[in-house]
Amino acid sequence: MSLGGAQCAPTVLSAEDLHGAQDSAEPRPKIVAMNEAPAPRLHVNCDHVATVRQARHAAFPDPVEWALLAEGAGAQGITVHLRKDRRHIQDHDVLRMRRAIGTLLNLELSLDPEIIAFTLECGADEYCIVPENRQEVTTEGGLDVVSERARLSSLIPRLVETGGAVSLFVDPDEVQLEASAELGAQFVELHTGTYANAAGDEQQRELERLHRAAARGVELGLRVNAGHGLDYQNVKPVAAIEQVEELNIGHSIVARSLMVGAAAAVREMLALVRAARG
């Protein structure tokens, strides 16, 4: 199903369809293509659905089922981060997600050799290489592309060979953008956490940094995404940055879904994202 320049009607799955999609051995046909959906696309991160499950080492809530509900509400992609410590998403979640979802799967990964090996075997539509610190509560900043140049120069071509697009999660810093372009990354995802945690004049300065970085990224031949810490109060100024093609948002949507349900939480965020571009 091609979106062209129009907005996609939500693909609503029945309860039977949901369970069938989760259990299918064959991947679902893609209902959205990376270059067809109107920008900015909303990719919903499902990590913290798994956080709730892992808090009790239970079988539920299931992030795959939640992802399908998000798709049904109009999400144009699903993002998961397979961490070395497996604190939320597990290997089997990624494998099932790969088969079940009908939009794009964006797999976040660190430079850990075990995670890289799994990723190359599993595959994804998009890969976002992120820094990872075992002690962190969540990703604390962008990848230092300059210092990781050697490992990235080896990994990026291997990921590209699988057919997925490669993105580097970076701070809005010109040096990091230039290094990303030199290494052959197709995308960068601008770290919006500093903007999200700021207020007043400081937040405005951080927003201006994001604008400059997005423009510079495009000048360098990169495609630009953004994410981290975005919520219902701060998303619109970032969504309005004309060069940004994709927003990755998770915690705020999962938290909102506890109050209003997954579908309503996604629709509310989509409305804000779309309104930002008029």
- As annotated, the active-site residues are 81, 108, 228
Say which amino acid occupies 62: D
Q: Could you tell me how far CA 175 lies from the centroid of its own chain?
A: 23
| Residue 56 annotated as binding site | yes
| Residue 192 annotated as binding site | no
Cβ count within 10 A of residue 105: 25
| Residue 225 annotated as binding site | no
| Residue 250 annotated as binding site | yes
| Residue 103 annotated as binding site | no
Whole-number Å distance between alpha carbons of 263 and 278:
23
Among residues 214, 225, 223, 172, the alpha carbon closest in space to that of 195 is found at 172
| Torsion angles phi and psi, residue 83, rounded to 5 | -85, 155
| Residue 229 annotated as binding site | yes
| Residue 278 annotated as binding site | no
SS3 readout for 29-84:
CCCCCCCCCCCCEEEEECHHHHHHHHHCCCCCCCHHHHHHHHHHCCCCEEEEECCC
| Residue 19 annotated as binding site | no
Q: How, if at all, do strands 165-170 and 223-227 pair?
A: unpaired
Contacts of 278 (CB under 8 A, 6+ apart): none
Long-range contact pairs involving 206-209 (C-beta distance under 8 Å, separation at least 24): 207/237, 207/238, 209/172
| Residue 45 annotated as binding site | yes
Write out the binding residues: 45, 47-48, 56, 83, 88, 138, 229, 250-251
